[in-house]
Amino acid sequence: MRFHVEKTDGLARLGQLETAHGPVDTPVFMPVGTQATVKGLTPRQVEETGARLILGNTYHLALRPGDELIAELGGLHRFMAWDGPILTDSGGYQVFSLAQGCKIDDRAAVFRSHIDGALFELTPERAVRIQENLGSDIAMCLDECAPAGSSPEKLHDAVRRTIVWAARCRAVHRRTDQALFGIVQGGTAIELRRECAAALIEMDFPGYALGGFSVGEKPEEMLAMLGPTAQLLPPDRPRYLMGVGRPHDILAAVACGIDMFDCVLPTRNGRNAQAFTADGPIRLRNAQHKRDPSPIESGCECYACRHFSRAYLHHLFAADEMLGPTLLSLHNVAFYVRLMREIRQVIRAGEFAAFCQVRLARWSGTS
C-alpha cells in the first residue's frame, strides 16, 4: 500500500491510497459491510454509487461463516463479489460492544459469542490470522476500546494493552498485499493519546486509526480531541477515524486532517426511513410526503432519486415493503459518496472552509 498527499487546505488533505485492488481517493467514506454485505444492497448497487472502499467485520465473519471457510472459497473479495478494496477491523470494538461476559488480559480477550454463546478467544495473533484469511487490503491491529467514563486507571491499562497487542500483531503479520494499521486509543485524555501514538509510530505502521471515539462521550469532547490527536500522526500516512460518520462530524474531522471514515448510518438510517440530503435529513414516514411527487433530493443522480418520488417511498414504508429500505440505503450511500467527492473538490480548489460554512448553515436546525 502506498499513500501520498496531493494538496492541503488548512489541515484538510487531498490524497490517494493505492491498494492491491486499486486506488482510493481521500478523504473517503467506507460503507460498512458487516456480514460480507452492505445491508440491503448488491455489490453492483454499491459500486454504482461511486463507493470504492468498503469495510468488513472480522468479529462477525470469524463467527459466521468462519474465516477459514472464506479463505477456502477464495477470500473475501471473491466471496462477496466485490472487486474493489476492502478494510477489515480487528474485532476490538465488537468485543467492547457485543461480546457477552468478556474477560480481557494481556494474553487475549475471551468472551461468549452473541450468536450462540459459544466461547471465543481472540488474541492479537488470531486477529491477524483471521484478517489474512479474509484477504482484505487493509487490516487492523487488535486493540482495547475502553468506554466513555472509564477511570484513568482503566484508560491507562487499555492504552498499555493496545500498545502490547499492536507489537504482537506487527510481529506476526505476513501478507505483503495487505497493509496493517495501528489504532491509537486513550479516550479524551491527550496525554494517553500522545503516549499511544508515539509507541505505534515507533513500530512504523503504514497507516494509523483513531479508535475509542463515539463510544459514549459527548460530541464536543470528541471534536475537541480530534485535531490534537490527528496532528500526533505522521503526515505521510493515512489517518482513519473509526466508526464516526455523522455528516457534520465528517466535515469537522476532515478539517483536522482525517482521511478515512466508516459508519453504519447510511444503511441503518435508510432502513428506518431517514434520508440524508444537502439540506439535512428527512423522514419518509412523515405524512407530509404522502402526496409529494418530488425525488428524495433534487439533483441527486442515484437510482432512487432518478426513478421514484417521496410519495412512493412513503408508501413503501407504510406498507412495510422491503424495497423502501433498499432504495433509501442506496440513496444514503450515494449521498455520502457525493459528499466526500465534493469535499475533495473544494480542498483541491482551496475552498474547504467556505464549503463547510455553507453546508453547516444548510444543515442547522435539522434533526
Residues annotated as part of the active site: 89, 262
Helix (H) / strand (E) element for 262: namely: strand 260-263
Residues ≥6 apart with Cβ < 8 Å to 68 = 133
Alpha-carbon gap, residue 253 to 260, rounded angstroms: 9
Cα angle 297, 276, 212 (rounded to 5 degrees) comes to: 160
Cell of 306: 432518478
Burial category of 158 from C-beta neighbours within 10 Å (exposed 0-12, middle 13-18, buried 19 and up): buried
3-state secondary structure of 144: coil
Taken in order 152, 153, 154, 158, the sign of the CA dihedral is positive
The two beta strands, 28-33 and 54-56, are: parallel
- CB 161, CB 110: distance < 8 Å: no
Q: Which of 288, 261, 286, 293 is nearest to 272 (CA)?
A: 286
Kindly give the pairing relationship between strand 274-275 and strand 22-26.
unpaired
DSSP for 221-251 reads HHHHHHHHHHTTS-TTS-EEETT---HHHHH
My answer on whether omega of the bond before 27 falls inside 30° of 0, hence cis, is yes
Query: How far, in Å, CA of 148 to CA of 161, rounded?
Result: 17
- How far is residue 223's CA from residue 202's CA, in Å, rounded to a whole number? 26
Cα dihedral value 144, 150, 154, 155, nearest 10: 60
Question: From start to end of the chain, where are the E strands?
Answer: 2-9, 12-19, 22-26, 28-33, 54-56, 86-88, 100-104, 109-112, 119-122, 138-140, 179-184, 207-210, 239-241, 260-263, 274-275, 282-283
